[in-house]
Chain A
Amino acid sequence: AQSVTQLDSHVSVSEGTPVLLRCNYSSSYSPSLFWYVQHPNKGLQLLLKYTSAATLVKGINGFEAEFKKSETSFHLTKPSAHMSDAAEYFCVVGSGGSNYKLTFGKGTLLTVNP
């Protein structure tokens, strides 16, 4: 069984300030972890992916995430928020071998204030 908990349903930051979106996971297998972003009325775009190589993963648009096994966390960060970062962010765990599937967190809505 696997699950994902996104600790904040809504995060509000000012443009130019750091972003931190928190995610904790549980998985019976060695998981793959993802962050997806969904802009309003749009599809899901892959930001970054962890698959047991480097624990610090760099993604698109300046985002990165650090896998911490001891804390079962995979928090998403960005040094400086941009207005275009305003969107819903989903932390996702993937596992299951031949029945590989994704389990989504509930999402964190990021608001960026001018």
Chain B
Amino acid sequence: AAGVIQSPRHLIKEKRETATLKCYPIPRHDTVYWYQQGPGQDPQFLISFYEKMQSDKGSIPDRFSAQQFSDYHSELNMSSLELGDSALYFCASSLIGTIYFGEGSWLTVV
């Protein structure tokens, strides 16, 4: 069965650079979520989209933005990167309430 696909799986950026993470949800899923998991932490909700419209916003910094495109894939854009942005970023998708996560994208800021 198709799963949530995230790319890239690993990314290394320098401070003040910009990074873009991509997410391809499970086909026919109508909601996409982004979560951030710092080292040894539980995942923190960043933002979600329902049918390509932003539906909810969590603890997402102003330096971050996200959107969902007409083909339902989503991108998380992170600018002016800080060392504290180093984390595992999960994308998830859902249909009727069960949320499935991708393998995550590891971002390291040096």
Q: Identify the A interface with B (CB < 8 A).
A: 32, 34, 36, 42-46, 49, 51, 90, 94, 96, 98-107
Residues of A within 8 A of B98 (CB): 34, 46, 49
Q: Which residue of A lies closest to B4 (CB)?
A: A43
A96–B97 CA distance with the chains assembled, in angstroms? 10
Whether the pair A94, B99 counts as a contact (CB closer than 8 A) is yes
Residues of B within 8 A of A96 (CB): 56
- For residue A95, give the distance in angstroms from its CB to the closest CB of chain B: 9
Whether the pair A99, B43 counts as a contact (CB closer than 8 A) is no
Residues of A within 8 A of B48 (CB): 99, 101
Q: Which of B62-110 contact A (CB under 8 A)?
A: 90, 92, 94, 97-104
Residues of A within 8 A of B42 (CB): 90, 104-107
With beta carbons under 8 angstroms apart, the residue of A90, A100, A104, A105 that contacts B97 is A100
- For residue B2, give the distance in angstroms from its CB to the closest CB of chain A: 15
Whether the pair B90, A44 counts as a contact (CB closer than 8 A) is yes
Whether the pair B55, A102 counts as a contact (CB closer than 8 A) is no
**A94 and B90 contact, Cβ closer than 8 Å, known pairs A43-B102, A101-B48:** no
Whether the pair A102, B103 counts as a contact (CB closer than 8 A) is no
Q: Is B33 in the interface zone, CB < 8 Å from A?
A: yes
Q: Identify the B interface with A (CB < 8 A).
A: 31, 33, 42-45, 48, 50, 55-56, 58, 90, 92, 94, 97-104
**A32 and B97 contact, Cβ closer than 8 Å, known pairs A99-B55, A101-B48:** yes
**A94 and B55 contact, Cβ closer than 8 Å, known pairs A105-B42, A107-B42:** no
A106–B77 CA distance with the chains assembled, in angstroms? 26
A44–B90 CA distance with the chains assembled, in angstroms? 9
Whether the pair A43, B94 counts as a contact (CB closer than 8 A) is no
Whether the pair A101, B43 counts as a contact (CB closer than 8 A) is no
Residues of A within 8 A of B102 (CB): 43
Whether the pair A98, B100 counts as a contact (CB closer than 8 A) is no
**A94 and B97 contact, Cβ closer than 8 Å, known pairs A100-B31, A101-B58:** yes
Q: Which residue of B lies closest to A107 (CB)?
A: B42
Q: Name 5 A/B residue pairs within 8 A (Cβ), A-sorted.
A: A94-B97, A98-B50, A101-B33, A104-B42, A104-B44
